[in-house]
Chains A and B, each alone.
Chain A
Amino acid sequence: MSEHLRVLVADDDPLIRMALSEVLEAEADLHVVAIAEDAEQAADLAAVHTPDVAVLDVRMPCGGGTRAAREIRIRSPRTQLLAFSAYDDSGAAEELKRLGVREYLIKGITNKEIVAAVRRAGAAVRA
């Protein structure tokens, strides 16, 4: 087991993808192993890389965060899931919780909060 937390980032917005990756990569203990542009890619890359944590956009092509979460649970069961959304969508939040998503992060929270959430999820994998 690596000492880094291995993270998958999935978002259809290239600016968010890039910013989120940079934020995570800036932390010594985090490593972004895969970047996906939609739900299908996220599931495929998760199956290949079996990351510790996947940060999933809620609204993205090919089924959104819910499809990505459902498939990753099957194809990489040990990956911990986080949702990252542009709006406070309590309906989607409920469904994502049922699919095993640990935390629901609203875009606009500070980098520190994002990093902390990823570390909490990672701790659950290592536990």
Chain B
Amino acid sequence: MRPEDGYRLLVHSVSDYGIFMLDPTGHILSWNIGAERIKGYREEEILGQHFSVFYPAEDIAAGVPERMLRQAIDDGHLEAEGWRVRKDGTRFWANIVITALFDGTGKLRGFGKVTRDMTERRAAEEALRESEERFRLLVHGVLDYGIFMLDPSGRIISWNDGAERIKGYREDEIIGQHFSVFYPPEDIAADKPGRELTQAVADGRLEDEGWRVRKDGTRFWANVVITALFDETGELRGFGKVTRDMTEHRAAEQALIERRRLLNHLVEAQELERRRIAWDVHDDSIQAMVAVGMRLQLLADRVPDENQPLVLQLEDSVRTSVARLRNLVVHLRPTAIDQHGLIAALDGYLRDVVAGWELETSLSADLASEPPLPVAITIFRICQEALTNVRKHARATRVDVTLHSKDSGTLVRISDDGVGFPDPVPENPYQQFGLLEMRERAETAGGWWAATTSETGSTVQFWLPSVSIVDEEPT
């Protein structure tokens, strides 16, 4: 095979490019598979036709095909992009190269034309541009976040509505300024803006919360994320900065902390007072009643026989009163919790109080260490409330209490085999109150509380950390 034949075969079979020859007047002299694929004409249909057949009517009317040939002659070569028409009348976006072909004497022998169908690429580019535009509009219109760009030195190069809302600057006022205008003087003195950019470059990203300054000089509590933006060569192109005004959030958080602190103090004061009353009853009232009982027993032996039953009856009433006062003391403040810890106190409560409600009870505990006293008291109180609920509502025959050490705290479960409690119970605000109170106590202590109920029984579960979160909050 001669080299010329080889080239012809090669060109003919290329399918990604339409490659064909025109005579000096623009009539088609050759055709290849790529041209047929792109334009839809078979070779025998198109040979001899003028190449303007590929152009849309408006281009033909404007003399575009002739102008292109002339320019190819003048410059030797022409590259262009534009709409072309297939045989079936549909359009495609074409990239074309026309090369003028001269012989050795400088005479024009015709043109070589290479056409590529760029429709898909153009569509992809268009889609990208549209998506970028949509994204730009989205970012611009976001009101809850200030989103803007900084150049590598920290000057502001874009701005959005959220940034204007949060910081008070209009776009035309702020573009070109250094972003340190948003920082309070003490931060500027400490070069915080500069350090934040340096850290964003080092780590790719930086998140910070702190005070920032609005245009009117007022401060707001901001959550800020700075992202360093690098191009594909790794060069720093600038920073993206997202700012959120957390002032209300922070105020709400602080209010919650304050509320918990107050609640905690309230609970502490209540416990202290209950404890005082419990010891008073224990050391004073009960002793006095016991002494009265002892002397009534003496009296019974000394009075005439007919009066003896009366005195013994009186003595029996005193004995009952003592038992009631002892229950009151356990309810107010199980003295055992101060001396022997949580488990002993719970055990005593189940044995002395709950067993009297005709409930079978069990207690199983697996604690790595005794919780601190305030936590132990909270656990005891929630158990007390849960057990009272079982007594009042569950119609259960047994209740099981388990305690485990878990996640630096204590997990407590109180399960009964009763009928469950309806939830919610609008007609019974006291029961509702009991559930709410348990949850509130657990949450105030930094833990959680949950209740599940079914026809075969209910379980109250709660977890309290061994360290009170309220005490750890800075004042």
Contacts and interface: CB of A to CB of B under 8 A. Distances in A.
Contact of B287 (A89, A107, A114): A107
Contact of A87 (B282, B291, B323, B344): B282
A96 B268 CA distance: 33
B105 interface: no
Interface stretch (B57-65, B66-74, B294-302): B294-302
A90 interface: yes
A23 B297 contact: yes
A86 B286 CA distance: 8
A111 B299 CA distance: 11
Nearest to B335: A87
B283 A59 contact: yes
B288 interface: yes
Contacts of A110: 297
B147 interface: no
A100 interface: no
A102 B417 CA distance: 44
B392 to A, nearest CB: 27
A23 B287 contact: no
A123 interface: no
Given A59-B283, A91-B339, A91-B340, A86 B298 contact: no
B293 interface: yes
B322 interface: yes
A3 to B, nearest CB: 22
B291 A19 contact: yes
A86 B283 contact: yes
Which size bracket describes the interface of B in this complex? 20 to 34
Contacts of A91: 339-340
Interface string B172-207: 000000000000000000000000000000000000
A89 B339 contact: yes
Interface in B258-310: 282-284, 286-288, 290-295, 297-298, 301
Interface stretch (A10-18, A36-44, A46-54, A72-80): A10-18
Contact of B295 (A13, A19, A108): A19
- Which secondary structure dominates chain B's binding surface? helix
A22 interface: yes
Interface in B95-134: none
B293 A108 contact: yes
B291 A86 contact: no
Contacts of B335: 87
B298 A108 contact: no
Which size bracket describes the interface of A in this complex? 20 to 34
B319 interface: yes
B424 to A, nearest CB: 40
Contacts of A89: 339
A41 B301 CA distance: 32
B157 to A, nearest CB: 74
Nearest to A17: B291
Given A86-B282, A91-B339, A15 B319 contact: no
B290 A86 contact: yes
Contacts of B283: 13, 59, 86
Contacts of A22: 294-295, 298
Contact of A20 (B294, B322, B344): B294
Nearest to B300: A111
Nearest to A26: B298
Interface in A104-127: 107-108, 110-111, 114
Contacts of A16: 287, 290-291
A88 to B, nearest CB: 8
A86 B301 CA distance: 25
A13 B293 contact: no
A15 B288 contact: yes
Nearest 7 CB-CB pairings of A with B: A15-B291, A19-B291, A19-B294, A13-B287, A111-B297, A107-B290, A16-B291
Given A15-B291, A16-B291, A87-B282, 9 more contacts: A13-B284, A13-B291, A18-B291, A19-B291, A23-B294, A59-B283, A87-B326, A87-B335, A108-B293
13 contacts: A15-B291, A16-B291, A19-B291, A19-B294, A26-B298, A86-B283, A87-B282, A90-B340, A90-B344, A108-B322, A108-B323, A110-B297, A114-B294
Interface of A: 13, 15-16, 18-20, 22-23, 26, 59, 86-87, 89-91, 107-108, 110-111, 114
